[in-house]
């Protein structure tokens, strides 16, 4: 089953990624349109945990994954994951954990305190953003505020994930959805933010396997080491 190798590899591999191996698997599952896998991963993640604070943190991580990827995958695929997570909590008698952390700040505040403009430039082609602002101004404004304000910066501002973890989770979900052209930009951003080539290569391999599990899809190659060499150049594909 896809994800088995990723779980094993990350558990003995990159120390910086190991703590988010289960959230990363959840991102792969959602991207591959397998929301029913998410609560199963959560239950496995907390199976031996009895400390409520630790379970709360695990739940916040999975909520963070949903916050990161929802715009890129789609609400209909996230609602089943949300409901499954709630049922997983209730099965442990932990309904009060539903409150979780404080709500995210406004998009404007989160954007100010989140990713720097330089980091954002590393993710996207500036020419593409210029075209979107010119011809699709409302879409551009909404994307800028919601994606970089709430979805990405929010998980960093609330301390759920480090910025490099957030970007890796997003790259995993986009890749496993089959949108490999756009995924290249986020893989490159993951490299720029400090994720290791080994961790990203494992994530890409498993994400592509997850995408292929959906059936025939047009996947383009993602060569991590090539992108690593180009991390200071302009991204040419989104």
**DSSP string spanning 107-172?**
HHHHHHHSS-HHHHHHHS-HHHHHHHHHH-HHHHHHHHHIIIIIIIHHHHHTTSS-HHHHHHHHHH
144 CB contacts (<8 Å, ≥6 apart)? 111
Q: Which residues of 95-104 are buried (b: 16+ CB within 10 A; e: fewer)?
A: eebeeeeeeb
Which residues form the domain of 76? 4-101+160-229
Token pair listed for 173? 């979900």
DSSP single-letter state for residue 13: S
> What's the Rg (C-alpha) of the chain?
17
Residue 142 lies in a domain: no
Token pair listed for 91? 């099965």
Angstrom distance (rounded) from CA 232 to CA 238: 16
Residue 29 lies in a domain: yes
Residue 82 lies in a domain: yes
Instruction: Please report, in tens digits, the pLDDT of each residue of the chain (238 residues total).
Output: 555 655 555 555 556 677 888 998 899 899 988 899 999 999 999 999 888 888 889 999 999 999 999 988 888 889 999 999 999 988 888 765 555 444 444 444 444 444 444 555 555 566 777 888 889 989 888 887 888 777 888 888 888 898 888 988 998 888 888 887 777 878 888 888 888 787 777 778 777 777 776 654 444 555 666 556 655 444 333 3
Angstrom distance (rounded) from CA 190 to CA 207: 15
Total structural domains within the chain? 1
Residue 172 lies in a domain: yes
Residue 155 lies in a domain: no
Angstrom distance (rounded) from CA 31 to CA 169: 10
Using CB atoms within 10 Å of the CB of residue 129, give its burial: 0 to 12 exposed, 13 to 18 middle, 19+ buried: middle
pLDDT of residue 38: 94
Residue 16 lies in a domain: yes
Closest-CA residue to 35 (of 1, 3, 66): 66
Residue 39 lies in a domain: yes
Token pair listed for 52? 């409520």
Looking from the CA of 206 toward its CB, the CA atoms found within 13 Å total 29
Residue with tokens 């047009």: 218
pLDDT of residue 23: 92
Residue 197 lies in a domain: yes
């Amino acid at each position: 089953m896809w994800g088995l190798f990723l779980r094993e590899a990350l558990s003995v591999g990159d120390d910086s990624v190991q703590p988010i191996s289960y959230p990363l698997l959840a991102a792969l599952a959602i991207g591959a349109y397998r929301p029913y896998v998410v609560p199963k991963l959560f239950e496995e993640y907390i199976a031996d945990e009895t400390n409520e604070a630790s379970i709360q943190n695990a739940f916040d991580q999975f909520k963070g994954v949903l916050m990161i990827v929802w715009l890129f995958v789609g609400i209909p695929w996230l609602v089943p994951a949300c409901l499954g997570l709630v049922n997983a909590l209730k099965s442990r008698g932990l309904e009060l954990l539903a409150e979780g952390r404080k709500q995210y700040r406004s998009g404007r505040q989160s954007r100010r305190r989140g990713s720097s403009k330089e980091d954002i430039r590393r993710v996207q082609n500036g020419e593409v953003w210029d075209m979107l602002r010119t011809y699709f101004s409302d879409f551009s404004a909404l994307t800028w505020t919601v994606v970089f304000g709430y979805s990405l910066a929010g998980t960093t501002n609330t301390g759920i994930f480090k910025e490099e973890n957030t970007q890796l989770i997003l790259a995993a979900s986009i890749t496993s959805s089959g949108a490999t052209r756009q995924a290249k930009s986020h893989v490159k951003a993951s490299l720029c933010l400090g994720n290791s080539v080994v961790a990203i290569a494992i994530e890409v391999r498993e994400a592509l396997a997850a995408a292929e599990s959906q059936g025939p899809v047009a996947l383009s190659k993602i060569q991590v080491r090539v992108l690593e060499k180009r991390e200071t150049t302009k991204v040419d594909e989104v």
